[in-house]
């Protein structure tokens, strides 16, 4: 039985984006199960459909022959073990530890950036981004940390590389942040803007973006800055 990956709306669901991009970019075959957002109320269609496969009723969920994994880090680790030939983590032991560290930091941190700059791939919100940058010091702090992290990792690689050289789980993990930087035109140094462009050009990322742009959904509760498309 093929792997099944349950995801939400591609325009908004940053958590869904991570394993989808990881699998697509790495060439791991899977069947997509799209469950569009209607609401996150316990009785919503979204929650009811997900509850049938996951006790937490959230996306993403990876199902392998009836076995469900519902946390993005757990999904990434499962795929790395299930497909060792794909080398989803760096091969060097210290690089691998660092990659796990930065993914865990992304998983639990950068709350201000997440809250004030929700992922919205089809939107162009540079004016909102400038207001956020002016008024939200915690967002500026998150971006400063992000820039420091990326700069340190990229400095150890050849020019034009990804965070650990070849594509890895870490790049999939930061792909939604690259979407946010583009949507809100958040200021980052030129070398990091170039990394954002490289991530957005990856075939797996480009495929997600194209499908996000084709959705044409407008989800009110995911749109704090727009009244319509």
pLDDT tens digits for 15-42? 999 999 999 999 999 999 999 999 999 9
Domain(s) of CATH 1.20.1050.10: residues in the chain: 93-211
The model's pLDDT over 122-139, given as tens digits with 9 standing for 90+, comes to: 999 999 999 999 999 999
Q: Is the confidence at residue 72, as pLDDT, over 80?
A: yes
Measured distance CA(76)–CA(180) in Å, rounded: 22
Whole-number percent of the chain with pLDDT over 70? 100
CATH dotted code for 93-211: 1.20.1050.10
Q: Is the confidence at residue 158, as pLDDT, over 70?
A: yes
CATH dotted code for 3-87+216-222: 3.40.30.10
Mean pLDDT to the nearest integer, 93-121: 98
| Strands 30-34 and 3-7, bridge-based pairing | parallel
Mean pLDDT to the nearest integer, 7-13: 98
Mean pLDDT to the nearest integer, 141-164: 97
pLDDT of residue 2: 87
Measured distance CA(53)–CA(61) in Å, rounded: 8
pLDDT of residue 222: 96
The model's pLDDT over 88-99, given as tens digits with 9 standing for 90+, comes to: 999 999 999 999
Cβ neighbours of 108 (radius 10 Å): 9
Measured distance CA(127)–CA(71) in Å, rounded: 34
Poorest-confidence range of 36-40, 148-152, 213-217? 36-40
Q: Is the confidence at residue 1, as pLDDT, over 70?
A: no
pTM: 0.97
CB 170 within 8 A of CB 164: yes
Residues 6+ apart with CB under 8 A from 136: 112, 116
Domain(s) of CATH 3.40.30.10: residues in the chain: 3-87+216-222
- Provide the β-strand partners of residue 195: none
């Amino acid at each position: 039985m093929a792997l099944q990956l349950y995801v939400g709306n591609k325009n908004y669901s940053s958590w869904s984006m991570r394993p989808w991009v990881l699998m697509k970019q790495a060439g791991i075959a899977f069947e997509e199960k799209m469950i569009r957002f209607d609401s996150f109320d316990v009785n919503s269609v979204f929650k009811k459909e997900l509850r049938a496969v996951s006790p937490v009723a959230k996306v993403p969920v990876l199902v392998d022959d009836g076995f469900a994994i519902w946390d993005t880090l757990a999904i990434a680790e499962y795929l790395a073990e299930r497909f060792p030939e794909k080398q989803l983590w760096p091969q060097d032991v210290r690089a691998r530890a660092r990659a796990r560290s930065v993914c865990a930091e992304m998983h639990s941190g950068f709350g201000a950036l997440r809250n004030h700059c929700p992922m919205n791939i089809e939107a162009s919100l540079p004016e909102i981004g400038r207001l956020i940058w002016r008024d939200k010091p915690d967002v500026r702090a998150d971006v400063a940390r992000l820039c420091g992290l990326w700069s340190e990792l990229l400095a150890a690689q050849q020019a034009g590389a990804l965070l650990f050289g070849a594509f890895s789980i870490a790049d999939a993990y930061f792909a939604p942040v690259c979407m946010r930087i583009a949507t809100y035109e958040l200021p980052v140094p030129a070398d990091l803007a170039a990394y954002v462009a490289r991530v957005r050009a990856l075939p797996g990322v480009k495929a997600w973006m194209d499908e996000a742009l084709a959705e044409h959904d407008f989800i009110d509760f995911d749109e704090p800055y727009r009244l319509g498309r």
